[in-house]
Structure formats: structure tokens, C-alpha cells
Amino acid sequence: MHIASSHVVTDTPARYISRLCAQFAHKLPVSFGDHHGRIEFAFGLSHLHADRTGLHITVLSNNPQDLNKLKHLIATHFERFAWQGELDLAWQ
């Protein structure tokens, strides 16, 4: 299993969970609440978690190529929603 994660310091992590999950829910299985989210892609999985420090995002896949695809998809959607806060994802 290949895993990457990112942490974004923000005062509104629940808002980003809601927006990301709602966006992907049009085409993918998604579940979310105020403090967590799960997006199921055909080639991997993304977990979103909000706490007092911000938003934690983890992506998992079976190979490095799919992991990079997941990171790109999540990052491009996140950056579209977060442009006003000038927030970026730094994957580890």
C-alpha cells in the first residue's frame, strides 16, 4: 500500500471537507460529516480529518502511479476551493 499525507493549517477545515466531498460525490462514493470525510476512487482512497490544528488529508493506493494521480486530483480540487486563503497541499 502506498500512502501520502498532507496537513493544512486552517480555521475552517470542516468547510473544506464538505466542499471536497460534495464535489466528488457527483461521481464517486463519498461519506462525510463535520470532522471527517472519505472519498472512494476506483484506484485508491482519500481520508479527510479536521481537528483544531487544521485539515489532515491522507491518500492511499496500490501503486505509485495511482498515488500520484490521487494527490493531483485532491490537490487541484482543494486549491480551487482554497484560493482565497492561499492554501497549498504539501504531500509527505
DSSP, collapsed to helix, strand or coil, labels residue 56 as strand
Question: Is 70 exceeded by the pLDDT of residue 83?
Answer: no
d(CA 42, CA 45): 8
Residue 85 pLDDT more than 80? no
Q: What is the mean pLDDT of the chain?
A: 93
pLDDT of residue 88: 76
pLDDT given for residue 80 in this prediction: 86
The more confident residue out of 82 and 83 is 82
**What structural domains and CATH numbers belong to the chain?**
2-85 (3.30.310.50)
Q: What is the pLDDT of residues 45-72, one digit of tens each?
A: 999 999 999 999 999 999 999 999 999 9
Max Cα–Cα distance, the chain, nearest Å: 34
The pair phi, psi for residue 28, each rounded to 5°, is -130, 160
Query: Quick check: 31 pLDDT over 90?
Result: yes
Q: Report pTM.
A: 0.91
pLDDT-derived band at 81, boundaries 50, 70, 90: confident
